[in-house]
C-alpha cells in the first residue's frame, strides 16, 4: 500500500538541505507520495528508508512480460478495481490451448489461426496473443518436439508451457529459453523442481493450488526459491469460483497490499459450448484475469472478445476517438447526403447508428476535434467554420459527389452562414440537434 | 503472511422488484456487487425478457428476423411463441408502430394491442413506447390504463416526458423505467424528480442507456458500476432501483451483426457473430450490475442463461 506523505517524511533525514530541489523534506515527501519525485534525488537517505520506500512503491501487482520481441505481452501493474477510477493498465492476453496429443495437422491448423488472427479495430491491431501448449500426452519427448515445432512455425508468438512434470518442462523449455515463456504447472508437489527449471530457463512460473490460502503459501515458497515472476491459478474453473477468486486476489493485492497474491492471474475458460466459453471469457476480461485460455479461436469469437477487451481497457479519462475521414454508411451514390460531426467515438457511434437506422445511404464526415463532442468542440474552438471548411476542401470529397450540400448538427446552426462564406458554392443545411432526429430528417431529404 | 479473504459488506441494498400477477418474476434485492454471493445476499437471478414488436421487424438483420418469421406478423402470436416455445420469463412489448415516422398508430390502437397480448400470456409484461418522447407520453398513458393492475413495467420515462408517464404508471399500479443518457448524475436527478411526484422509489427501474459491444459499451458499463457502488457504499436510495440493459435494440443494428462473411471474411461467420455480440454485450452488463435484460435472439438468451447458471 502506498505510504502517505507524512509516513514518508518520517523516513527522510529531516535536514531540509534542499539538495533534492525541494524547499523542505516535508515538501519532498509530499511529492514522493504523489509519485512526482524519485527518492534518488535525496543524497542522504538511509539504506533502511530506501528498503521500506522501495517495497511500498512497488506496484501492488507485479509487472510480468510474456514472450519477447514485438509480440511480447505485458501483464500486471493494475492499480484499481473499477475502470472508472483509473485506466486498467495491461489488457489481458488471450491464449489458445494446443495439446501435444493432437495430430500435426490439427496443431498446424491452430497455429495458423493464431498467426492469422490479427484484426484492425479503431486503429488498434488486435490478435490472439499466445499459445498454451499442454503436455496431454504425458510424454516428455513428444512435448519437446511439439513445442519446438510451434516455436519454429510461430517464432514471435509468446508460449505458455503447461506440464506438472519438471523433466517434460525442461525438455520443452531448453529450445525456447530466449523467448521468455511462461511455465505453467507448479503445485505443492513439484514446486522446488519447477522453480529450478523456471530459473534455469528464465521463464516465469504459473503456480496452482486449491484455494487462495494454499496459493499464497505456495507463492511465498516459490519466491523463497528465487522465482519472482509468478502467475496465479486459483484453481477456479466455474464462473462462480472465478469471480470470487479473481475479486479476492485483486482486492488483496490492491487494497491490502498482500504481496503473496500480487501477481497476474491466469484463467481457464475452455468449454464444449463455444458460445458459453465466450461469456466465461467475458467474465475474465471484465473481472481481473491477465491471461484467458481458450479452447478454440473462431473468428467470430475473437472479434467479440477483442472488442470487449478494447472497450474495458480504454482510458475512461481520455475520450475515445475515431479516425478523421469521410465514412460511407450504406452504399452512397454521388447524390447521397453528406453530413458532418466530430470524432468523439460516442458521438460517431450514435450518429452513424442513427444514419444506419434511417436506411438512407449517406456520407458522414468525421472531423478530428480531439475526441470532443459537437457542443464541447464548438465551445473549445475546434469545430469552427474555418476548420470545417478546410477539412471539407482537403478531403477531396468535391470530386466524389455531385452536389455541394453539407448537413451540420443542429447544435451548431449558428455556423451555417460562416461555413457558406468559407466554402464558396456550397449550401449548408442545418440538421437535427439530436442524432435520433436523423432518420426522419434524412428520409425527408431523399 | 496468512491470507484473509478480503470480503466487503455494504450498508446499502438494491430494491427488490416483483412484476406480473399470474406468473411473476422477481429481480434485484442483493446487497453486494453482481453475483458476489460469497460475501452477501443475492436472492434472485437476473431476468431476461424477450423483445416483441407490434410491427413486422423488417429492419432486424436476417439472423434474428428469421427466428420469428412465422409469428412476427402479429404481436399476440409472437408473444405466445416466446412464452410457450422459448420459455420466456417475461415479454417486452415494444410499441414501435406508434412512432410518427413509422405507422404513427394511435394510443388507442396501442392500448388494444396491449390488452390482446395480456389476455394471451401469463408471464409478466414490459410495455415500451417507440422512444419518441412526445408520442410516448400519450401512448404510455393509454397502455398503462389498458393494463391496469397487471403489475407491468412501463417505459421509458425520460426527462422530457416523465410527468405524465409516471402519473399513469402510479395510478394503474405499474413499475416504471426511468431512462437517462449515460450519466450518473442525470440518472439520479430523474429518479429524484419522479419520486418527488409521489412515485414509490421501490417501483422504479433505472435505465442508464444501453450501448452495444464496440459502440460505447464501456460507457454503459462504467455508469452502471458507479450507480451500483453509490447504491451499496453510500446507501443512496435514489441509486438503489435495479438496472435495465435494453440490449437487443442496440446490438442488432450495428455492422457486426449485419455484414456478411463474404463482405468481411476476417470477422467470421455472421450468424454466430451476431448471436455472440448480443450475448457478450448482455454478459458484460450483467457483470456491471444489470438485473433486467431485454434481448432478441433465443440462442443468445440461452447462452446468457447458462452463464447465469454458472455464476449463481
Record: contact A303-B273, CB cut-off 8 A: yes
Q: How far apart are CA B7 and CA A142, in angstroms?
A: 45
Which pairing describes strands A204-208 and A230-233: parallel, antiparallel, or unpaired?
parallel
Q: Which candidate from A252, A304, A316 shows the least CB-CB separation from B277?
A: A304
A90: left (phi over 0), alpha (psi -120 to 50) or beta: beta
Grid cell, residue B263, equals 463482405
Task: Return the number of other C-beta atoms located less than 10 Å from residue B41's C-beta.
Answer: 12
* Residue to test with chain B: of A207, A278, A311, A444, most B Cβ within 10 A: A311
Q: How far apart are CA B45 and CA B97, in angstroms?
A: 32
Task: Return the number of other C-beta atoms located less than 10 Å from residue A124's C-beta.
Answer: 12
- Residue B299's closest chain A neighbor by CA? A275
Grid cell, residue B70, equals 412465422
* Residue to test with chain B: of A85, A235, A250, A275, most B Cβ within 10 A: A275
- Residue A344's closest chain B neighbor by CA? B216
- Note the pLDDT of residue B1: 64
Grid cell, residue B137, equals 407520453
Q: How far apart are CA B128 and CA B151, in angstroms?
A: 14
Grid cell, residue B26, equals 422477481
φ, ψ for residue A351 (rounded to 5)?
-65, -45
End-to-end CA distance of chain B: 31
Record: contact A84-B276, CB cut-off 8 A: no
Indicate the fold that domain A5-57 takes in CATH: 3-methyladenine DNA Glycosylase II; Chain A, domain 3 (1.10.15)
Domains of chain B, residue spans? 22-311
Tell me which chain B residues have a C-beta less than 8 angstroms from the C-beta of A294.
none
What's the CATH superfamily of B22-311? Dihydropteroate synthase-like (3.20.20.20)
Angle subtended by helix axes A140-153 and A166-173, to nearest 10: 30
pLDDT digits (tens, 9 = 90+) for A15-68: 999 999 899 999 998 888 776 788 888 888 888 888 888 777 778 899 999 999
DSSP B196: H
Contact A95, A129 (CB under 8 A): yes
- Residue A122's closest chain B neighbor by CA? B214
Q: What angle do CA B165, B170, B173 make, to 5 degrees?
A: 120
Q: How far apart are CA B312 and CA B307, in angstroms?
A: 9
Q: How far apart are CA B246 and CA B292, in angstroms?
A: 8
Supply the ipTM of this predicted assembly: 0.96
Report H helices in B66-132.
75-84, 107-120
Tell me which chain A residues have a C-beta less than 8 angstroms from the C-beta of B279.
275, 278-279
Q: Which residues pair with B52 in a beta bridge?
A: B93
- Note the pLDDT of residue B263: 82
B20: left (phi over 0), alpha (psi -120 to 50) or beta: left
Q: Under 8 Å CB-to-CB from A49, ≥6 apart: which residues? A: A11, A12, A39
Record: contact B280-A261, CB cut-off 8 A: no
Task: Please choose, from the candidates B210, B227, B202, the residue with its C-alpha nearest in 3D space to the C-alpha of residue B289.
Answer: B227
Give SS3 for B77: helix
Record: contact B287-A251, CB cut-off 8 A: no
- Dihedral sign computed on CA atoms, order A154, A159, A163, A166: positive
For chains A and B, what is the number of CB pairs under 8 angstroms? 172
* Residue to test with chain A: of B211, B215, B300, B301, most A Cβ within 10 A: B215
Q: How far apart are CA A117 and CA A306, in angstroms?
A: 10
Record: contact B213-A311, CB cut-off 8 A: yes
Give me the residues of chain A with pLDDT under 70, please: 1-2, 35
Place of cell 497455429: A111
Grid cell, residue B205, equals 427501474
pLDDT digits (tens, 9 = 90+) for A267-282: 999 999 999 999 999 9
Record: contact A301-B266, CB cut-off 8 A: no
Contact B61, B252 (CB under 8 A): yes
- Dihedral sign computed on CA atoms, order A437, A438, A442, A443: negative
Q: Which candidate from A240, A286, A311 shows the least CB-CB separation from B310?
A: A240
- Note the pLDDT of residue A120: 84
- Residue A279's closest chain B neighbor by CA? B280
Report H helices in chain B.
62-65, 75-84, 107-120, 133-146, 162-171, 184-196, 217-233, 247-251, 270-288, 298-311
Q: What is the CATH number of domain A325-445?
A: 3.40.50.11600
Q: What is the CATH number of domain A64-312?
A: 3.20.20.20
Q: Which candidate from B214, B268, B310 shows the least CB-CB separation from A299?
A: B268
Record: contact A282-B35, CB cut-off 8 A: no
Per-residue pLDDT tens digits of chain B, which is 312 residues long? 689 999 999 999 999 999 999 999 999 999 999 999 999 999 999 999 999 999 999 989 999 999 999 999 999 999 999 999 999 999 999 999 999 988 999 999 999 999 999 999 999 999 999 999 999 999 999 999 999 999 999 999 999 999 999 999 999 999 999 999 889 999 999 999 999 999 999 999 999 999 999 988 999 999 999 999 999 999 999 999 999 999 999 999 888 998 888 888 889 999 999 999 999 999 999 999 999 999 999 999 999 999 999 999
In chain A, % of residues over pLDDT 90? 75
Record: contact A346-B8, CB cut-off 8 A: no
- Residue B228's closest chain A neighbor by CA? A82
Q: How far apart are CA A67 and CA A202, in angstroms?
A: 11
Q: Which candidate from B37, B229, B275 shows the least CB-CB separation from A275?
A: B275
φ, ψ for residue B295 (rounded to 5)?
-135, 170
Q: How far apart are CA A376 and CA A364, in angstroms?
A: 19
Domains of chain A, residue spans? 5-57, 64-312, 325-445
Record: contact B36-A243, CB cut-off 8 A: yes
Task: Supply the Cα-derived Rg of chain B in whole angstroms.
Answer: 19
Q: How far is CA B260 from CA A352, B22, B270, B295, in A?
A: 19, 43, 6, 22
Contact B53, B68 (CB under 8 A): no
* Residue to test with chain A: of B100, B131, B158, B311, most A Cβ within 10 A: B311
Tell me which chain A residues have a C-beta less than 8 angstroms from the C-beta of B254.
353, 356
- Dihedral sign computed on CA atoms, order A380, A384, A388, A394: negative
The number of angstroms, rounded, from the C-alpha of B225 to the middle of its chain's C-alpha atoms is 17
Q: Which candidate from B182, B218, B254 shows the least CB-CB separation from A353?
A: B254
Q: Which candidate from B6, B215, B226 shows the least CB-CB separation from A84?
A: B226
Record: contact A286-B2, CB cut-off 8 A: no
Record: contact B8-A240, CB cut-off 8 A: no
Amino acid at each position: 500500500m502506498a505510504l502517505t506523505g507524512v509516513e514518508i517524511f518520517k523516513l527522510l533525514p529531516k535536514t531540509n538541505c534542499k539538495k533534492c530541489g525541494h524547499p523542505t523534506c516535508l515538501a519532498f515527501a509530499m511529492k514522493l507520495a504523489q509519485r512526482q519525485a524519485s527518492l534518488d534525488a535525496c543524497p542522504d537517505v538511509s539504506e533502511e528508508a530506501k528498503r521500506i520506500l522501495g517495497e511500498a512503491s512497488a506496484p501492488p501487482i507485479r509487472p510480468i512480460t510474456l514472450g519477447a520481441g514485438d509480440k511480447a505481452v505485458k501483464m500486471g501493474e493494475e492499480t484499481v478495481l473499477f475502470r472508472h477510477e483509473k485506466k486498467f493498465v495491461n489488457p489481458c492476453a488471450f491464449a489458445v490451448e494446443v495439446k501435444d496429443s493432437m495430430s500435426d495437422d490439427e496443431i498446424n491448423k491452430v497455429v495458423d489461426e493464431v498467426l492469422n488472427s490479427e484484426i484492425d479495430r479503431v486503429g488498434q491491431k488486435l490478435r490472439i496473443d499466445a499459445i498454451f501448449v499442454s503436455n496431454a500426452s504425458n510424454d516428455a519427448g513428444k512435448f519437446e518436439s511439439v513445442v519446438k515445432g510451434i516455436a519454429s512455425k510461430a517464432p514471435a508468438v509468446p508460449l505458455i508451457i503447461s506440464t506438472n512434470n519438471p523433466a517434460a518442462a525442461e525438455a520443452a523449455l531448453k529450445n525456447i529459453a530466449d523467448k521468455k515463456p511462461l511455465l505453467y504447472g507448479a503445485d505443492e508437489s513439484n514446486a522446488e523442481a519447477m522453480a529450478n527449471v523456471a530459473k534455469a530457463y528464465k521463464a516465469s512460473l504459473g503456480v496452482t493450488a486449491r484455494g487462495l490460502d494454499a496459493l499464497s503459501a505456495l507463492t511465498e515458497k516459490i519466491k523463497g526459491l528465487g522465482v519472482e515472476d509468478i502467475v496465479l491459478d486459483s484453481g477456479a474453473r466455474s464462473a462462480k469460483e472465478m469471480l470470487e477468486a479473481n475479486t479476492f486476489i485483486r482486492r488483496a493485492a490492491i487494497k491490502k497490499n498482500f504481496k503473496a497474491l500480487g501477481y497476474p492471474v491466469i484463467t481457464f475458460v475452455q468449454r464444449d459450448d463455444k458460445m458459453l466459453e465466450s461469456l466465461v471469457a467475458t467474465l475474465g476480461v471484465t473481472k481481473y484475469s491477465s491471461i484467458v485460455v481458450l479452447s478454440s479461436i473462431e473468428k467470430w469469437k475473437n472479434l467479440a472478445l477483442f472488442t470487449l477487451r478494447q472497450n474495458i481497457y480504454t482510458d475512461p479519462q481520455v475520450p475515445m476517438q475515431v479516425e478523421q475521414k469521410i465514412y460511407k454508411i450504406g452504399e452512397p451514390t454521388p447524390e447521397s447526403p453528406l453530413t458532418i460531426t466530430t470524432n468523439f467515438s460516442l458521438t460517431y457511434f450514435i450518429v452513424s447508428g442513427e444514419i444506419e437506422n434511417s436506411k438512407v445511404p449517406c456520407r458522414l464526415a468525421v472531423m478530428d476535434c480531439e475526441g470532443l463532442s459537437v457542443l464541447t468542440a464548438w465551445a473549445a474552438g475546434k469545430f469552427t467554420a474555418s476548420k470545417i471548411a478546410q477539412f471539407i476542401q482537403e478531403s477531396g470529397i468535391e470530386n466524389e459527389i455531385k452536389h455541394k450540400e453539407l448537413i451540420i448538427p443542429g447544435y451548431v446552426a449558428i455556423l451555417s452562414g460562416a461555413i457558406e462564406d468559407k466554402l464558396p458554392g456550397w449550401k449548408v443545411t442545418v440538421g437535427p440537434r439530436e442524432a435520433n432526429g436523423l432518420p426522419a430528417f434524412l428520409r425527408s431529404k431523399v | 503472511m496468512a491470507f484473509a479473504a478480503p470480503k466487503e459488506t455494504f450498508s446499502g441494498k438494491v430494491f427488490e422488484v416483483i412484476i406480473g400477477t399470474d406468473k411473476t418474476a422477481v429481480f434485484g434485492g442483493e446487497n453486494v456487487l453482481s453475483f458476489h454471493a460469497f460475501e452477501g445476499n443475492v436472492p434472485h437471478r437476473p431476468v431476461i425478457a424477450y423483445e416483441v414488436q407490434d410491427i413486422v421487424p423488417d429492419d432486424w438483420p436476417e439472423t434474428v428476423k428469421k427466428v420469428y418469421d412465422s409469428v412476427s406478423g402479429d404481436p399476440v402470436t409472437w408473444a405466445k411463441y416466446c412464452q410457450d416455445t422459448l420459455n420466456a420469463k417475461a415479454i417486452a412489448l415494444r410499441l414501435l408502430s406508434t412512432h410518427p415516422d413509422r405507422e404513427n398508430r394511435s394510443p388507442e390502437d396501442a392500448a388494444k394491442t396491449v390488452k390482446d397480448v395480456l389476455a394471451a400470456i401469463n408471464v409478466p409484461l414490459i410495455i415500451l413506447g417507440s422512444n419518441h418522447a412526445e408520442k410516448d407520453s400519450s401512448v404510455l398513458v393509454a397502455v398503462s390504463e389498458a393494463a391496469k393492475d397487471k403489475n407491468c413495467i412501463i417505459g421509458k420515462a425520460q426527462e422530457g416526458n416523465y410527468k405524465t408517464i409516471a402519473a399513469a404508471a402510479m395510478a394503474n399500479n405499474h413499475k416504471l423505467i426511468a431512462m437517462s443518457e449515460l450519466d450518473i448524475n442525470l440518472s439520479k436527478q430523474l429518479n429524484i424528480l419522479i419520486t418527488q411526484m409521489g412515485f414509490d422509489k421501490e417501483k422504479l427501474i433505472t435505465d442508464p442507456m444501453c450501448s452495444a459491444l464496440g459502440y460505447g459499451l464501456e460507457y454503459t458499463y462504467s455508469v452502471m458500476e458507479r450507480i451500483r457502488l453509490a447504491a451499496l457504499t453510500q446507501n443512496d436510495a435514489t441509486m438503489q432501483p435495479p438496472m435495465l440493459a435494453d440490449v437487443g435494440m442496440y446490438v442488432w443494428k450495428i455492422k457486426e451483426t449485419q455484414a456478411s462473411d463474404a463482405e468481411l471474411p476476417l470477422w467470421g461467420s455472421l450468424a454466430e457473430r451476431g448471436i455472440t455480440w448480443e450475448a457478450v454485450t448482455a454478459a458484460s452488463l450483467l457483470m456491471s450490475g444489470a438485473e433486467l435484460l431485454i434481448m432478441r435472439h433465443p440462442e443468445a438468451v440461452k447462452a446468457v442463461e447458462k452463464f447465469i447458471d454458472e455464476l449463481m
